[in-house]
Amino acid sequence: MVGNPNTGKSTLFNTLTGLNQHVGNFPGVTVDKKVGAFNIKNKKYTIIDLPGTYGLNPCSEDERITQEYIQKSKKDIIVIVADSTNLKRNLLLCTQIIDLKKPVILVLNMMDLLQKNNQEIKINQLSSLLGIPVVPINARIGKGIDDLKYAISNFSYQNNSFVDQHHSSNVIDETMLRYNKINHIVNECLIKKGEDKLSILTKKIDNILTHKIYGYLIFLSLLFIIFQAIFSWSSYPMELIENAFLLLSDFLTQTLPAGMLTDLIVDGVIAGLGGIGVFVPQIAMLFAFITILEDTGYMARVSFLMDRILRQFGLNGKSIIPLLSSTACAVPSIMGARTINNYKERLITIMVAPLISCSARIPVYTLLLALIVPKESVFGAFNLQGLIMMALYLLGFIAALMAALVMKWIIKSKEKSSFMLEMPIYRLPRWNNVTLSIYNKVRLFLFDAGKIIVAISVILWVLSSYGPDNSFQLIEEKYTSEHFDTKYNNDEIQTFIAAEKLEASYAGIIGKTIEPLIKPIGFDWKIGIALVTSFAAREVFVSTMATLYSVGDEDNTKSIKQKMLLAENPKTGKPLYTLATTLSLLIFYAFAMQCMTTLVIVHKETKSLKWPFIQLIYMSSLAYFSSLVVYHIFS
């Protein structure tokens, strides 16, 4: 399945496959491909959703992959999804594929919008002129899907050509020849009964949303609403999930026999998964808002708005899509930078995208903000934690712009910059598509992060539960010695033993080793362990802290937030997570490159080890020295 961007290809793919789909990479490259399956009369068909392209003369990596895949395919039926309201533009790709002598079916999507525009397409005549089957559909409501399945199952290949292939090898001449013939077809097949109402409505809305002043205010207001909603609406489901994990931990502790296996399950696996599972409502809401903005066509307007600003920093208007997509995850956003034709602008976008706070940082931010920011409203309606969360995201965006400005002067290129973007008409979001997108993204988040979290939690539990030689035995003997002060009760003694055992464990030794490096920015050895483990994935910070504060703690009724609030500095007896320490930690995670997968993707995209190495060094340095400044200011 192939088509221009914004033709409803993803909606059709979701309608055909439902939940029977997965996302992978094409062999040898990091370009995403969606693969799904559906049945027609008990016969299984596999469908591959290729990256969107305007034609077979590629200008970007995505378009090149689509071109190569189409040219190499032999027995595949190529279903071209076209926007029926933009017939002329969509037929360019269609005619190019026809001339490759490939089995082709043309699907005219959005027929409901065509009717609203008082237009009509003569389907049979268009099919006859192109020499291929043409199927009208409305993928949003599933209308015409059975006709498409019939066309696929009864496909009969016709060997036809659209233009004389010996005319000219010049791309411009060949394109002009195609459009001459396409104009004739459109004039023959498209009937206009009145004015284009949707285009007129879109222009009226654009006069407001892309205004040089109002446009930016509206965009910032939308971001404000999103972060307020993420904190306000998600609080109740988060409490339910948190309580469910606490009840599960308490139930298993009471039910299972005491021993090493129970400790591993409760303090390792359950504590680790519970630490990250509680944040699913917030992450689901973030993905929902991003999908809605894309589905309505608003994201294209944001690109247009931001182009004049981003150019001052060595970026491109198209850079805003990867940057905004980084609020979900930096990995697909870096891959999405392939749509930027200029190499220098694409490279700078890749290098600064991880500075934008991603969904993996949400668990870290939420946990740390809960330690220092009261759960209250300001000015009567605005969630204070949501305001600070938005400030952290804006801080990441400002840092990305500043880093881009520096790279603009460092990275040299003679290639000229250009910005060309299609403005799709405004549409209501496709709620089935939004729901399916949330499901897929959350599933990937839970399973991908879950596998890492379980593995690290088990390893961390082992490292935290065992120490070298007879160190644990000596600690127990110390507290059972007749010389030990008996003024403490048994619960207090057990707390002392658990704390000393954790510090003497292998995990404690690792943390103590790196503590001198991180002590100047207010971090102790436990935070040091979390910094190391969260390099696999940022959200692992929360599960690591949950595991560290659960090992040796018999109380399974307190959440990780409550345990961290009660944590004390062993030397001063004062709270460990002071305002200075917590702000320092927030700033560190806002800037640090704590994601191994992102570095791997940068290496694949740039085909060089140099750029991910530079990215790791500059982001880590920025994080450390920023935290150092913040810690000493607030100390």
pLDDT confidence tier of residue 420, bands split at 50, 70 and 90 = low
C-alpha 554: how far from chain center: 37
Cα separation, 514 vs 596, whole angstroms? 20
User: Looking at per-residue confidence, does 627 or 163 come out higher?
Assistant: 627
C-alpha distances (whole Å) from 547 to each of 94, 273, 493, 536, 537 are 56, 10, 21, 16, 16
Cα separation, 56 vs 53, whole angstroms? 8
By C-alpha distance, which of 73, 129, 127, 84 is closest to 105? Answer: 127
Residue 443 has pLDDT above 90, yes or no: no
Mean pLDDT to the nearest integer, 316-321: 80
Mean pLDDT to the nearest integer, 459-463: 80
Residue 510 has pLDDT above 80, yes or no: yes
Other CB atoms within a 10 A radius of the CB of residue 322 amount to 26
**Portion of the chain with pLDDT greater than 70, in percent:** 88
Q: The tokens 């320490």 sit on which residue?
A: 581
By C-alpha distance, which of 106, 103, 107, 105 is closest to 159? Answer: 103
pLDDT of amino acid 27: 42
Cα separation, 549 vs 65, whole angstroms? 48
Question: Is residue 594 classed exposed, middle or buried when 0-12, 13-18 and 19+ CB atoms within 10 A define those classes?
Answer: buried
pLDDT of amino acid 30: 41
Residue 474 has pLDDT above 90, yes or no: no
Contact 65, 29 (CB under 8 A): yes
Contact 461, 268 (CB under 8 A): yes
- Do residue 586 and residue 509 come from a single domain? yes
pLDDT of amino acid 412: 82
- Do residue 393 and residue 355 come from a single domain? yes
pLDDT confidence tier of residue 170, bands split at 50, 70 and 90 = low
- Do residue 571 and residue 523 come from a single domain? yes
Q: What is the 3-state secondary structure (H, E, C) of 6-31?
A: CCCHHHHHHHHHCCCEEEEECCCCCC
pLDDT in tens, 544-593: 787 777 765 555 567 778 888 888 877 777 888 889 999 999 999 999 98
Domain of 167: which CATH number?
3.40.50.300
Residue 599 has pLDDT above 70, yes or no: yes
* Helix, strand or coil, per DSSP, at residue 537: coil
pLDDT of amino acid 136: 94
pLDDT of amino acid 28: 40
Name the residue type at position 566: L
Mean pLDDT to the nearest integer, 353-367: 87
Q: Which residues contact 298 (CB under 8 A, 6 or more apart)?
A: 209, 426
Q: Evaluate whether residue 379 is within a structural domain.
A: yes
Sign of the C-alpha dihedral, residues 500, 504, 505, 509? positive
C-alpha 130: how far from chain center: 40
User: Looking at per-residue confidence, does 390 or 149 come out higher?
Assistant: 149
- Do residue 36 and residue 104 come from a single domain? yes
C-alpha 319: how far from chain center: 15
- Do residue 389 and residue 451 come from a single domain? no
C-alpha distances (whole Å) from 409 to each of 31, 331, 623 are 29, 26, 22
User: Looking at per-residue confidence, does 265 or 23 come out higher?
Assistant: 265
- Do residue 256 and residue 335 come from a single domain? yes
- Do residue 273 and residue 154 come from a single domain? no
User: Looking at per-residue confidence, does 218 or 471 come out higher?
Assistant: 218
Q: Evaluate whether residue 421 is within a structural domain.
A: no
Mean pLDDT to the nearest integer, 507-516: 88
Q: Kindly write down the DSSP assignment for every residue of 55-108, as one continuous string.
A: -SS-SSHHHHHHHHHHHH-SS--EEEEEEGGGHHHHHHHHHHHHTTT--EEEEE
Alpha helices in 329-487 (DSSP H): 330-336, 343-352, 361-372, 384-410, 431-465, 471-480
Residue 420 token pair:
């060309």
Q: Evaluate whether residue 89 is within a structural domain.
A: yes
Domain count along the chain: 3
Edge-to-edge strand ranges of the sheet holding 21-25: 21-25, 32-40, 43-49
How much of the chain is in helix, strand and coil states, percent to nearest 5? 65, 10, 30
pLDDT of amino acid 145: 92
Q: Evaluate whether residue 362 is within a structural domain.
A: yes
End-to-end CA distance of the chain, in Å?
59
Q: Evaluate whether residue 207 is within a structural domain.
A: no
Domain span at 274: 214-410
Angle, helix 525-533 to helix 431-465, in steps of 10 degrees: 130
Q: Which residues pair with 79 in a beta bridge?
A: 105
Q: Evaluate whether residue 382 is within a structural domain.
A: yes
- Do residue 316 and residue 463 come from a single domain? no
Q: Kindly write down the DSSP assignment for every residue of 91-105, as one continuous string.
A: HHHHHHHHTTT--EE
**Portion of the chain with pLDDT greater than 90, in percent:** 18
Other CB atoms within a 10 A radius of the CB of residue 60 amount to 17
pLDDT confidence tier of residue 26, bands split at 50, 70 and 90 = very low
pLDDT confidence tier of residue 491, bands split at 50, 70 and 90 = low
Mean pLDDT to the nearest integer, 19-44: 67
Q: Which residue, of 361, 394, 410, is where some domain finishes?
A: 410
H or E stretch at 208: helix 197-209
Residue 463 token pair:
């490292």
Residue 172 token pair:
């411009």
User: Looking at per-residue confidence, does 344 or 379 come out higher?
Assistant: 344
Q: Which residue, of 145, 161, 195, is where some domain finishes?
A: 195
Contact 231, 365 (CB under 8 A): no
Instruction: Give me the torsion for CA of 26, 29, 33, 39, rounded to 10°.
Output: 0
Contact 258, 397 (CB under 8 A): no
C-alpha distances (whole Å) from 582 to each of 84, 87, 587, 630 are 54, 56, 9, 10
Q: Evaluate whether residue 434 is within a structural domain.
A: no
pLDDT in tens, 180-204: 888 888 898 988 876 667 778 888 8
Residue 477 token pair:
């003997």
Name the residue type at position 325: S
- Do residue 10 and residue 93 come from a single domain? yes
pLDDT of amino acid 195: 64
- Do residue 225 and residue 177 come from a single domain? no
Residue 281 has pLDDT above 60, yes or no: yes
Q: Evaluate whether residue 204 is within a structural domain.
A: no
pLDDT in tens, 404-414: 999 999 988 77
pLDDT in tens, 215-248: 889 988 888 888 778 777 877 888 888 888 888 8
pLDDT of amino acid 487: 66
pLDDT confidence tier of residue 31, bands split at 50, 70 and 90 = low
Q: Which residue, of 163, 195, 227, is where some domain finishes?
A: 195
Mean pLDDT to the nearest integer, 249-263: 84
Contact 518, 531 (CB under 8 A): yes
- Do residue 311 and residue 273 come from a single domain? yes
- Do residue 289 and residue 152 come from a single domain? no
Cα separation, 52 vs 322, whole angstroms? 16
Residue 25 has pLDDT above 50, yes or no: no
Q: Which of 533-542, 587-596, 621-630 has the highest mean pLDDT?
A: 621-630
pLDDT confidence tier of residue 488, bands split at 50, 70 and 90 = low
pLDDT of amino acid 299: 82
pLDDT confidence tier of residue 126, bands split at 50, 70 and 90 = very high
